[in-house]
Amino acid sequence: MDSPKKCGGKRFYRGFLAIDSGAKCWQYFPPNYPEESPMKLTRRNFLAATGAAAAGFSLPSSVFGQEEKKLNFYNWDTYIGETTLADFRKDSGVEVKMDLFGDNAELFAKMREGNPGYDVIVPTNDFVERMWRANLLQPLDHGKIPNFRKNVDRTFRDAEFDPGRKFSMPYMWGTMGIGYRKSKVSRAPDSWSAVWGRQSNQHAGRIGWISEPGSMIGMTLRYLGYSFNSTDREQIRQAATQLIEYKKNVKGIFEDNGQDLLASGEVDLVVEWNGDIAQLINEDPDIGYVIPKEGGYYWQDCLCIPAGAPHPENAHAFINYLLDAEVGRDLAEYIEYATPNEAARKLTDASYRNNPAIFPPKKVQEKLEPSLYLGEARAQLIDEVWTGILAS
């Protein structure tokens, strides 16, 4: 087992780590974490299980009614601040237990089997729609989440995947692009060809892909001149053929620890989430991030209450707490993904709010598409095609 590099910072074990309210570090495995599973990082690259809070923020005891003072939170790893959960407990008396999932497919499968007791979950936009259409989410009471109207940017107050925000509140948003080591490239990669085209021949064996089927196939569709959300079977097959042809140049397809391989020098280029690379840029000036000229997509992670949540009142209060301006500021600066909380963004340091790796310039944003839920048939086709890519 690796030793922790920091306690309270952003580099920990290659596995799951938690920090208690006294800042004592220990290795933490969720109850359902299999003993035989390899230790790994998934979508968010450094875990702190308690996060950043707002000074002086308090919650009226009446919002909790007669519910027991507990809340079960199912979240991506590293997707909370350093003291958020501890401070929420201090202000509300509600103890938060956080379990981790690795990707949206795992989250969806868990909820489809029947909610085992979670109160708040964090699906990505297309999976929000997929879940509410499958009756896996319960409607939100906006009257219990006043910080939504008070603090969230108007751009995020409605959503194509959830009209009227009936089932979801915006948490963070971001992009996927290419993280690269500047000293290993003649110039910044400007095309997806650098990772799954002819340009990738220059870095054979030094490229990392992320194990995100919809994202990988969607961005290859963009590279080929099609929509990220194409439902055309032939176009999707063409994207698969492109990936299979250049898979020979790939060191591996990783479940979101590509940023660690880039940091260690094992790869020169990696397909990754922007926030993971933004954190790395802060630590290593030789690291860069780019969204290729063909464009790509942007995602939005959301706070939802699953059907059958045992503590819905606590869940509403917790969501409202996360949308507080000062809490949101500390979350954003720690996680380093883009916040949809305009009141929080105004409080952030300029190094965060003006960072193009976090907030892409307008001309770049114009080339991005949202990921959409396009029905079970397409979802199954993507899974089928990805299985073929992995087996090739």
Tokens of 209: 């892909």
Range with lowest mean pLDDT among 3-7, 30-34, 68-72, 266-270: 3-7
The percentage of the chain sitting over the pLDDT mark of 90, rounded to a whole number, equals 73
Question: pTM here?
Answer: 0.77
DSSP code of residue 392: -
341/156 Cα distance (integer angstroms): 9
377/16 Cα distance (integer angstroms): 35
Residue 176 has pLDDT above 70, yes or no: yes
124/304 Cα distance (integer angstroms): 10
Of residues 371 and 29, more confidently modeled: 371
41/39 Cα distance (integer angstroms): 7
pLDDT tens digits, 352-384: 999 999 999 999 999 999 889 999 899 899 989
CB atoms closer than 10 angstroms to residue 332: 26
Tokens of 52: 């950043």
Provide the pLDDT for residue 5: 30
> What mean pLDDT is predicted for residues 63-70?
75
- DSSP-derived 3-state class of residue 257: coil
The percentage of the chain sitting over the pLDDT mark of 70, rounded to a whole number, equals 83
- Compute and round to an integer the Cα radius of gyration of the chain: 20
Range with lowest mean pLDDT among 25-34, 203-212, 222-231: 25-34
pLDDT grade, residue 146 (50/70/90)? very high
Going by their DSSP bridges, the two strands 269-273 and 95-100 should be labelled as unpaired
Q: How many helical (H) and strand (E) elements, i.e. helices and strands, does the chain have?
A: 15, 12
pLDDT grade, residue 258 (50/70/90)? confident
For 227: left if phi > 0, alpha if psi spans -120 to 50, otherwise beta; the answer is beta
Provide the pLDDT for residue 23: 31
Residues 6+ apart with CB under 8 A from 376: none
Range with lowest mean pLDDT among 33-47, 117-131, 209-223, 334-348: 33-47
> What mean pLDDT is predicted for residues 38-50?
36
> What mean pLDDT is predicted for residues 248-277?
91
Helical residues (DSSP H) of 118-232, grouped into ranges: 125-133, 147-151, 193-196, 213-223
Residue 99 has pLDDT above 50, yes or no: yes
Chain centroid offset of residue 380 CA: 22
pLDDT grade, residue 108 (50/70/90)? very high
> What mean pLDDT is predicted for residues 52-60?
38
Helix (H) or strand (E) holding 167, with range, is none
Tally of CA atoms within 13 A in the half-sphere of 61 that contains its CB: 4
pLDDT grade, residue 52 (50/70/90)? very low
145/319 Cα distance (integer angstroms): 7
> What mean pLDDT is predicted for residues 304-309?
98
Helix (H) or strand (E) holding 356, with range, is none
**Domains of the chain, start order:** 17-172+300-353 (3.40.190.10), 174-298+360-391 (3.40.190.10)
> What mean pLDDT is predicted for residues 161-171?
97
Tokens of 375: 């029905």
